[in-house]
Amino acid sequence: MARRSNKIAATRYPVERLTLANGLRVVLAPDRSAPVVGVAVVYDVGIRSEPEGRTGFAHLFEHLMFQGSANLEKLAHFRHVQGSGGTFNGSTHLDYTDYFEVLPSNALERALFLEADRMRGPRLTEENLRNQVDVVKEEIRVNVLNQPYGGFPWLTLPPVMFDTFPNAHDGYGSFTDLESATVADAADFFERYYANGNAVLSVAGDFDVAEATALVERHFGSVPARPAPVRPSFDEPDLTAERRQSYTDRLAPLPAVAAAWRVPDPITDFAGYLPYVVLAEVLTDGDASRLVERLVLKDRSVTSVGGYLGFMGEPFEVRDPTALLLQAHLPPGGDTDKLLRSVDEELDRLAQDGLAAGELARTQARMVTHLLRDTDAVLSRTLRMAVLEQQRGEPGLLNQLPVLLGEVTEEQIRAAAATLRPERRATVEVIPGAAR
């Protein structure tokens, strides 16, 4: 019999939605329990939207958005947020770019002014561009080129699994592409993708809805209207034969392997997608999980193994095409073929024999605990609601996610496991180098 959870309660964060006359969508989620507020603006542009010859441009442009704006000089944004006792940042993802602040609630208007001001226009100068190209190049050196397992697997696995430029290219960017970027490129990118019609403003925390609405209208209502561009489909056919590649990492001390399988569309087939989210945790979450118990504790064929949805580990903030990933580090002389056979055996055993008593409930309880803990933080709530609005028009789904995860059944888990066949798998192997 399918097991249904009746013990997991939905959260009840209130959500108000509105759209300004210029097309900006707004999500307001008041919570008066602590005197802090989160503000986020999420633009519907990410790594997949970069044009050929401009790899890394979405991330580069994120940096440019912090270099001054229509009415503020360089570093003024930093000074105003930090001077209010707040923190700020931005990040680039496959399908979106976000900018955010967390401040004392009495600084809400300041944060709204700052975000509206750079929505009107960042300072796109040759000096700022060249400076930020150098900053991004240094970030690549630190995080990828001079880091053991740098870019593994989020940069190294997509080119194995996918064929099209949007899905397969290096989202950090090549030095050649970054250095060839021009101010005109940046201005075109801003005009195309940073329209208010292509953005969502999210505010969560300690505020009055009527007052916050008036402040949003005051600061964002006068931003000139620009419509959202048409977002192309990035879909690709599923694999019909296994793909494998390997490369040598001169800094890696031990071999490593990552494997991925395509999963259902997380937007249009959310019900079909959710079992894979839970399956990844059944396989790898904790010492009692299937692959940790088999590969780490019993066979000792790997030193660690993990599983997650999405190349950047964002199960609820990603569009199709995406994948379930497993990654593992092996001991010296580890056998990749043996490891993959063991994974196949465990997937077959799960699909055929099902779950042990209490296995699914334990996994779901852990998942929901982590989800609720993350949602309790005002910044996490602000960002997730913004992306849920942007990608689904449903920010209130945040409240239902714990229940939906708890409703995934054993039958759905078994069916999902049965689809993870070798012929649908893309694998990348890291061979340790001989750096001294």
For 191, residues 6+ apart whose C-beta sits below 8 A from its C-beta are 226
Contact 319, 391 (CB under 8 A): yes
pLDDT tens track for 190-218: 999 999 999 999 999 999 999 999 999 99
Q: Which is nearest to 89 in space by CA: 105, 111, 110?
A: 111
What CA–CA distance (Å, rounded) separates 12 from 156? 40
Second CATH level (architecture) for the domain 243-432: 2-Layer Sandwich (3.30)
What CA–CA distance (Å, rounded) separates 197 from 20? 9
Look up residue 243 and give its two tokens. Answer: 């793909």
Give the pLDDT score at 1: 35
Look up residue 55 and give its two tokens. Answer: 């790899």
Give the pLDDT score at 9: 77
The DSSP 8-state label assigned to residue 229 in this structure reads P
pLDDT tens track for 320-365: 999 999 999 999 999 999 999 999 999 999 999 999 999 999 999 9
Q: Where are the domains of the chain?
A: 16-220, 243-432
Angle between helices 183-193 and 126-140 (to 10 degrees): 90
What CA–CA distance (Å, rounded) separates 314 from 94? 10
Q: Which is nearest to 68 in space by CA: 6, 128, 2?
A: 128
Is it true that 16-220 and 243-432 share their CATH fold?
A: yes
Q: Which is nearest to 385 in space by CA: 203, 112, 196, 194?
A: 203
The tens place of each residue's pLDDT in the chain, 436 residues long, gives 344 444 777 899 999 999 999 999 999 999 999 999 999 999 999 999 999 999 999 999 999 999 999 899 999 999 999 999 999 999 999 999 999 999 999 999 999 999 999 999 999 999 999 999 999 999 999 999 999 999 999 999 999 999 999 999 999 999 999 999 999 999 999 999 999 999 999 999 999 999 999 999 999 999 999 999 999 999 999 999 999 999 999 999 999 999 999 999 999 999 999 999 999 999 999 999 999 999 999 999 999 999 999 999 999 999 999 999 999 999 999 999 999 999 999 999 999 999 999 999 999 999 999 999 999 999 999 999 999 999 999 999 999 999 999 999 999 999 999 999 999 999 999 999 864 4
Amino acid symbol at 231: R
- As assigned by CATH, the class of the 16-220 domain is alpha beta
State the pTM of this model: 0.95
